[in-house]
Amino acid sequence: MTQKSLMLQVRNLRKTFTLHGRGGVQLPVFNDISFEVSAGECVALIGSSGSGKSTLLRSLYANYLPSAGEILVKHHGEWVDIASVEARTKLEIRRETIGYVSQFLRVIPRISSIDLISEVAISGGMSSEIAIEVSSALLRRLNLPEHLWNVPPATFSGGEQQRVNIAMGLVRPYPILLLDEPTASLDASNRESAIELILEAKSRGAAIIAICHDETARDRFADRLFDVSQFKAAA
């Protein structure tokens, strides 16, 4: 890449949870977080447990509304603040621009694993035939036993669900990828396959923000570390 092209700009972000069930108690998590991520770059979020890494990642996906600040996302060539766009645009950003690999399988519908992954690819305009091919290739690389492909992942082990998650996040060439512990529940050889897929996403130009406690894995794909605990908000 000749010139670094910015994909994400976080500006002065603050998150305080308000516990409505507890008389509106305020729970400050972080304050004044700013950073940028370019295409082809991976930033790893670090910091002690409870410092707000997952909260930050969820905010970037607009699962949580920030208390202050901006989350500017390069979407179809334009900067938009995902925290303040209308619902329709937010869904479009999630479909077209930001992929999210959560730590646990979020929805466990009664759809087979291969269909869950193919549907993501088809939503990106792939024909169903090619989508099945691409999804199969991914599951093969992630070493998910073939007899599980036609089974819904609800009853899978943690590591098997995690591989379905990774495949759903990587089957489309999202310009921005959010990864929450993508390799945590994988054994060594499956972890290696996941790392290789992440590196491939990076080299095709994805801007990646990752949480990964495993330092050996993290060192393989992270270009720099961002310590969330430095931004601890006063209680």
Ligand X SMILES: Nc1ncnc2c1ncn2[C@@H]1O[C@H](COP(=O)(O)OP(=O)(O)O)[C@@H](O)[C@H]1O
Binding site for ligand X (CB under 6 A): 17, 27, 29, 47, 49-55
Binding mask 38-57 for Mg ion (x = CB under 5 A): ----------------x---
Question: Are 167 and 139 contacting, i.e. CB atoms less than 8 angstroms apart?
Answer: yes
Q: Cα-flanking dihedrals φ and ψ of residue 210, to 5°?
A: -130, 145
- The residue among 103 and 143 lying less far from ligand X, judged by its C-beta, is 103
CB of residue 59 to ligand X, shortest distance in Å: 9
Q: 28-31 long-range CB contacts below 8 Å, 24 or more apart? A: 28/233, 28/234, 28/235, 29/55, 29/233, 30/55, 30/56, 30/228, 30/231, 30/232, 30/233, 31/231, 31/232, 31/233, 31/234
* Residue 44 β-bridge partners: 210, 225
Question: Are 113 and 164 contacting, i.e. CB atoms less than 8 angstroms apart?
Answer: yes
CB of residue 233 to ligand X, shortest distance in Å: 10
Parallel, antiparallel or unpaired: strands 68-75 and 78-81: antiparallel
CB of residue 27 to ligand X, shortest distance in Å: 5
Question: Are 222 and 179 contacting, i.e. CB atoms less than 8 angstroms apart?
Answer: no
* 161 contacts Mg ion (rule: CB under 5 A): no
How far does the chain reach from its first CA to its final CA, in angstroms?
43
- The residue among 67 and 102 lying less far from Mg ion, judged by its C-beta, is 102
Q: Which does 79 bind (CB under 5 to 8 A by kind): Mg ion, ligand X, none?
A: none
CB of residue 127 to ligand X, shortest distance in Å: 39
DSSP 3-state of 190: helix
- The residue among 6 and 233 lying less far from ligand X, judged by its C-beta, is 233
Q: Which does 49 bind (CB under 5 to 8 A by kind): ligand X, Mg ion, none?
A: ligand X
Indicate the residue whose CB is closest to Mg ion.
54
- The residue among 2 and 49 lying less far from Mg ion, judged by its C-beta, is 49
- The residue among 33 and 138 lying less far from ligand X, judged by its C-beta, is 33
CB of residue 47 to Mg ion, shortest distance in Å: 10
* 190 contacts Mg ion (rule: CB under 5 A): no
Task: Name the site residues for Mg ion (rule: CB under 5 A).
Answer: 54
